[in-house]
Amino acid sequence: MGLFNFFTQEIAMDLGTANTLIIHNDEVVVNEPSIIALNRNNMKEVLAVGKKALMMHEKTHESIRTVRPLKDGVIADFNAAELMIRELIKMIYPKKPLFPPSWRMVICIPSSITEVEKRAVRDSAEQAGAKEVYMIHEPMAAALGIGIDVEEPVGNMIIDIGGGTTGITVIALAGIVCDQSIRIAGDEFTADIMEALRRYHSLLIGERTAEQIKINVGAAMKDLDNPPDDLPVNGRDLVTGIPKQIMVSYQEIAEALDKSIFKIEEAILKALETTPPELAADIYRRGLYLTGGGALLRGLDKRLSAKIKLPVHVADDPLKSVVRGTGLALKNYQRFPFIMR
């Protein structure tokens, strides 16, 4: 087995709806949007993946198709997912190695995933060249990545606001005690922004522009301590059909996102209601941890702590906390009980 181990390389992968990150040798080597551009005439031919494919998204002609293989945190397009994983793994080694290594992979999956969806992740990874595939639930990985000791008998609540789903999980003794998962997250916020601009400014914008608005002026509250500047937004006027530009302020975006954030608050309250009382006492002392890309929304922590009346901590670099935890799980894949074979 010594020779086999020599050729086995280990990677940890966070396969997300919006971004896919890969850790190899303790550093994030791949951090790309989960999107792939394929040739329509030959669907096995990959034209671009990651950032390059995102540049093409919504700007394609009829012989190019851009696909986001993951929807709501699970694989929606099996072939595209397999091609994307394969291309992203190729990015780790820019020069082609003499002996292509066999991979040992740890992949994170949402905690609300069904057996069929889990199987799809495993099959995609194996098709892309993984010898051994291990899986870990995303909230567990996020907790490890934040730096929480998950094995001690203390309750921690992790709120992971990703691209497709928001997972609200209570963790204790290296296991998941209760979890709520709702399909309201980054993509839903983007859709809300598109809808708001269409309704109030009769301006039609694409998904990518809405995403940029969310990143630059996205907010969860109307009064922020250091508000961002207004952002010029270009799109097509629905009345005249001519492209035009408007200025968008963070207050408008906070208004647009209000309903979706309210639903996330409801889900958190619902999760707290089902928490056993001893763990609830721990959560009162420790507060809630926010992670995932949605945690970067300005003022979200303040808004949640005002509603729930508990302290809310945002993980540092919340986009990478899940993949960091997956990297830790990879190092100790024999020791941690919650890693699934």
How confident is the model over 280-339, as pLDDT tens digits?
A: 999 999 999 999 999 999 999 999 999 999 999 999 999 999 999 999 999 998 888 889
Place of tokens 């086995």: 8
Q: Does 212 appear as a known binding residue?
A: yes
Global confidence as pTM: 0.92
State how far the Cα of 138 lies from the Cα of 16, in Å rounded to an integer: 10
List the end-to-end C-alpha distance of the chain, in Å, as a whole number.
19
DSSP 73: T
Kindly give, in sequence order, each residue whose CB lies less than 8 Å from that of residue 100, ignoring residues fewer than 6 positions away.
Answer: 129
Mean pLDDT score across all residues of the chain: 93
Q: Does 165 appear as a known binding residue?
A: yes
Q: Does 48 appear as a known binding residue?
A: no
Mean pLDDT, to the nearest integer, of 90-107? 84
The full DSSP string for 147-173 is T--TTSS--EEEEEE-SS-EEEEEEET
How does 188-212 read in b/e, with b if 16+ C-beta sit within 10 Å? Answer: bbbebbbebbeeebebebebebbbb
Q: Reduced to 3 states, what is the DSSP secondary structure of residue 65?
A: strand
Residue 189: closest CA among 254, 268, 112 = 254
Q: Does 214 appear as a known binding residue?
A: yes
6 pLDDT exceeds 70? no
220, 297 Cβ separation under 8 angstroms? yes
Q: Does 163 appear as a known binding residue?
A: yes
Partnered with residue 332 across adjacent β-strands are: none
Count CA within 13 A, CB hemisphere, residue 124. Answer: 30
State how far the Cα of 281 lies from the Cα of 163, in Å rounded to an integer: 30
pLDDT at 33: 96
Q: Does 299 appear as a known binding residue?
A: no
Place of tokens 């098709």: 127
2 pLDDT exceeds 60? no
Mean pLDDT, to the nearest integer, of 229-237? 96
Q: Does 327 appear as a known binding residue?
A: no
Residue 142: closest CA among 126, 165, 125 = 165
pLDDT at 5: 63
146 pLDDT exceeds 90? yes
Q: Does 211 appear as a known binding residue?
A: yes
Question: What is the spatial order of strands in the sheet that 175-182 belongs to?
Answer: 175-182, 166-172, 156-161, 288-291, 312-314
201, 56 Cβ separation under 8 angstroms? no
pLDDT band for 93, please (50, 70, 90 cuts): confident
Q: Does 252 appear as a known binding residue?
A: no
Work out the number of other CB atoms within 10 angstroms of the CB of residue 61: 7
Q: Does 320 appear as a known binding residue?
A: no
Count CA within 13 A, CB hemisphere, residue 273. Answer: 7
